[in-house]
């Protein structure tokens, strides 16, 4: 059933709010953006048709404040809410709450979010489809059980705190003799850090790539994939550089992973944009399901650049009850795209956050360049939220052209007043391992950072 | 073409109310909206200048502690909690803010005389939006 959307309430901030407002403009839809007190003069507030102050700076009082957001959406006459990414985007009760008040949630069904938020359910469901998952365990409560599971799952293993996340509370154990002490240490640390010492165990894939498949579904049951993104360059589980397509992914693997992703989405009756994340074991040339993200992702631009498809437009269309505007055979990869996430952090000081006033902000013009940002000269980067300033996206007819265009863009991109990760990104791009694609998910932390930090301290 | 709904009309009335417009007429399809204002000095407050005026005259702004629908009375048709010119005690309820059916009472932090009301009944007020200006009165 089609529903008319003429005004969208954007329950988010920063570059993604700008992105959504831009899509609304292009579609002739009015935009109303939620702002916290410190975001009242932000770029989204300036370019939206209307900005509504929903609460004070802390996220709990503003961007996570469900009552204020829904009241603001209703009060401003919006028919739909776009949650962006982060904040309320993957809280299953939020779309349910929206529905209760007659608002369209631009995103997946609550049930989809809930299912994929339960990691054990997700693993079971995916396994039942015959898709490989990372060998791992249910909860492990003592050393004896841990030993048994680790043996079964295969060394090296990753000890993970059940209450952890974002890389916290994880220990790699390479040999059986180290398991006891590590398990006891890890659970004690978890107890201190999270108040919960429950652990589980996964096989650790040491030479891994992070490859994710973008999919989109509509209410008619159509599921289409838009190929993959390679997000292997991570530091503390935060992606720093993403690219599409994945360099060196064989056509056979690409086909299998895309088909696996589509079959997962189809089984769930998935609606809207979503991303299925896989780990590719480069030693064994095998892939394993890791998890599914039920939202639009930060790195969606690289997919847009190689396919020519606007994912936010499609999200809005699907939410209004229209079918996806293209068929699978119309999705083609053209060229190569790379994205660098530029953060307000000091790479030479262990990436310490660097909020403050931007005194210079000059991004170069150029073919195949795209800048997704909310920043401008004079903007005060607040300390209350994450440190993403901008996504620099560069394309080329192939990977080397894209790298060259990105290097040129980064070299000309001038930001003053705050520290940024620009120099670190430049360091990545000129590195031979990166250029020859000899990398994995631990490369930045285990190899590059060490080199960079010794360079930084040598320079002092 | 976008359809005008009840919320749009309320917003429009709010904008007109806060502006210096005396008389306004809109005809759109089957909708005709005619607004005529009777102006009092106390009513002549728009959002930006109310701060300046308040500071200038020693008036205390009272701000919405939450976003929601401004309710000048306990329910529709009931007498308003306060009117311009009225003296209120500290702790007196000035209005309610309806957040999805949950009512938040806004009370006077100090005794005073209501010098201005800058929100319309039923209109959405934003977090920290000025809704009243209060002239301090020393309690005897």
pLDDT tens, residue by residue, A11-49: 999 999 999 999 999 999 999 999 999 999 999 999 999
Domain spans of chain B, in order of start: 6-36, 41-136
d(CA A407, CA A430): 8
pTM of the shown model: 0.87
Rounded to an integer, what distance in angstroms lies between the CA atom of residue A129 and that of residue A141?
29
Per-residue pLDDT of A340-393, as tens digits, reads: 999 999 999 999 999 999 999 999 998 899 999 999 999 999 999 999 999 999
Least Cα distance to A353 among A419, A447, A279, A289 occurs for: A419
Asked if A68 and B127 come within 8 Å (Cβ–Cβ), the reply is yes
Rounded Cα gap, residues A316 and A89, in angstroms: 15
Contacts of A207 (CB under 8 A, 6+ apart): A281, A282, A283, A440
A contacts of B100 (beta carbons < 8 Å): 67, 70-71, 74, 101
3-state DSSP assignment of residue A218: coil
Q: Distance between CA atoms of A69 and A80, rounded to whole angstroms? A: 11
Percentage of residues in chain A with pLDDT exceeding 90? Answer: 84
Question: Cβ contact (<8 Å) for B69 and A52?
Answer: no
Instruction: Say if the Cβ atoms of A54 and B127 lie within 8 Å.
Output: yes
Q: Can you tell me which residue has the tokens 């430049």?
A: A426
**Annotated catalytic residue A209:** no
Length of chain A: 460
Of residues B7, B102, B128, nearest to A75 (C-beta): B7
Contact call for residues A148 and A201 (beta carbons, < 8 A): no
pLDDT at A170 over 70: yes
pLDDT confidence tier of residue B24, bands split at 50, 70 and 90: confident
- Facing residue for B67 by CB, picked from A7, A54, A77: A54
Complex ipTM value: 0.88
pLDDT band at B19 (very low <50, low <70, confident <90, very high): confident
pLDDT digits (tens, 9 = 90+) for A63-113: 999 999 999 999 999 999 999 999 999 999 999 999 999 999 999 999 999
Q: What are phi and psi of B90, to 5 degrees?
A: -65, 135
- Can you tell me whether residue A12 is helix, strand or coil? coil
Nearest CA in chain A to B66: A55
What residues are paired with A381 via a beta bridge?
A: A356
Q: Which two tokens stand for residue B57?
A: 């005259």
CATH number of the domain located at residue range(s) B41-136 in this protein: 2.40.50.100
| pLDDT value for A386 | 92
User: Could you say which of A7, A123, A295, A317 is catalytic?
Assistant: A295
Q: What are phi and psi of A77, to 5 degrees?
A: 75, 25
pLDDT band at A168 (very low <50, low <70, confident <90, very high): low
Q: What is the DSSP letter of A444?
A: I
Chain B residue numbers with beta carbons less than 8 Å from the beta carbon of A70 are 100
pLDDT at B45 over 50: no
Q: Which residue of A has its CA nearest to B122?
A: A75
DSSP label at residue A447: I
Is B7's CB within 8 Å of A72's CB? Answer: no
A409 DSSP assignment = H
pLDDT per residue as tens digits for the range A282-310: 999 999 998 899 999 999 999 999 999 99
Extract the runs of DSSP E, i.e. beta strands, from A102-198: 104-105, 136-140, 157-165, 168-173
B93-99/B68-71 β-pairing = antiparallel
Cβ-defined contact of B67 to A56 (cutoff 8 Å): no
pLDDT digits (tens, 9 = 90+) for B60-105: 999 999 999 999 999 988 999 999 999 999 999 999 999 999 999 9
Cβ atoms A444, A453 nearer than 8 A? no
The beta-carbon neighbor of A55 closest among B2, B69, B127 is B127
Residues in Cβ contact with A153 at an 8 Å cutoff, skipping those fewer than 6 apart: A135, A136, A137, A201, A202, A203
Instruction: Name the band, by pLDDT with cuts 50, 70 and 90, for residue B139.
Output: low
Q: How far is B63 from chain A (nearest CA, A)?
A: 12
The pLDDT assigned to A139 comes to 79
pLDDT single digits (tens) A320-343: 999 999 999 999 999 999 999 999
Residue in B with minimal Cα distance to A57: B127
């Amino acid at each position: 059933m089609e529903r008319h959307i003429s005004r969208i309430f954007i329950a988010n901030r920063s570059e993604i709010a700008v992105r959504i407002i831009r899509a609304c403009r292009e579609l002739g839809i009015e935009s109303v953006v939620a702002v916290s007190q410190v975001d009242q003069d932000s770029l989204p507030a300036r370019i939206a048709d209307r900005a509504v102050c929903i609460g004070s700076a802390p996220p709990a009082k503003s961007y996570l404040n469900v009552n204020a957001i829904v009241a603001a959406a209703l009060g401003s006459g919006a028919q739909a809410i776009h949650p962006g990414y982060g904040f309320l985007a993957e809280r299953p009760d939020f779309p349910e709450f929206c529905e209760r008040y007659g608002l369209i949630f631009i995103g997946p069904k609550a049930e989809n979010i809930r299912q994929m938020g339960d990691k054990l359910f997700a693993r079971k469901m995916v396994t039942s489809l015959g898709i490989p998952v990372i060998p791992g365990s249910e909860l492990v409560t003592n050393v004896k059980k841990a030993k048994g599971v680790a043996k079964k799952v295969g060394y090296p293993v990753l000890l993970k705190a059940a209450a952890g996340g974002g890389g916290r509370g994880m220990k790699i154990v390479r040999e059986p003799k180290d398991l006891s002490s590590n398990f006891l240490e890890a659970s004690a640390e978890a107890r201190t850090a999270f108040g919960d010492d429950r652990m589980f165990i996964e096989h650790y894939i040491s030479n891994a790539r992070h490859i994710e498949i973008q999919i989109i579904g509509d209410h008619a049951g159509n599921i289409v994939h838009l190929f993959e993104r390679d997000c292997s360059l991570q530091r503390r589980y935060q992606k720093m550089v993403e690219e599409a397509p994945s360099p060196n992914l064989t056509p056979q693997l690409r086909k299998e992973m895309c088909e696996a992703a589509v079959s997962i989405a189809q089984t769930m009756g998935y609606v809207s944009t979503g991303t299925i994340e896989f780990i590719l074991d480069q030693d064994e040339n095998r892939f394993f399901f890791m998890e599914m993200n039920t939202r639009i992702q930060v790195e969606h631009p690289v997919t847009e650049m190689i396919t020519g498809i606007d994912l936010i437009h499609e999200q809005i269309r699907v939410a209004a009850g229209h079918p996806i505007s293209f068929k699978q055979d119309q999705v083609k990869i053209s060229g190569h795209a790379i994205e660098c996430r530029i953060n307000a952090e000091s790479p030479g000081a262990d990436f310490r956050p660097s909020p403050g006033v931007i005194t210079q902000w000059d991004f170069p013009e150029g073919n195949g360049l795209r800048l997704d940002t909310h920043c401008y000269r004079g903007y005060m980067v607040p300390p209350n939220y994450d440190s993403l300033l901008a996504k620099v996206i560069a394309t080329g007819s192939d990977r080397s052209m894209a790298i060259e265009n990105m290097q040129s863009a980064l070299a000309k991109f001038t930001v003053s007043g705050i520290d940024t990760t620009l120099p670190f990104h430049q360091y990545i791009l000129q590195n031979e391992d990166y250029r020859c694609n000899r990398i994995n998910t631990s490369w930045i932390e285990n190899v590059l950072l060490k080199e960079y930090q010794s360079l930084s301290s040598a320079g002092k | 073409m976008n359809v005008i709904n009840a919320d749009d009309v309320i917003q429009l009335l709010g904008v007109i109310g806060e502006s210096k417009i005396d008389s306004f007429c809109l005809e759109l399809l089957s909708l005709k909206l005619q607004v005529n204002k009777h102006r009092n000095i106390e009513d002549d407050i728009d959002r930006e200048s109310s701060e300046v005026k308040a500071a200038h005259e020693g008036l205390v702004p009272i701000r919405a502690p939450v976003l929601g629908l401004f309710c000048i009375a306990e329910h529709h048709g009931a007498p308003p909690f306060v009117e311009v010119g009225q003296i209120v005690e500290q702790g007196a309820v000035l209005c309610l803010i309806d957040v999805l059916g949950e009512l938040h009472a806004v009370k006077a932090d100090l005794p005073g005389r209501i010098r201005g009301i800058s929100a319309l009944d039923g209109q959405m007020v934003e977090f920290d939006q000025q809704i009243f200006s209060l002239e301090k009165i020393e309690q005897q």
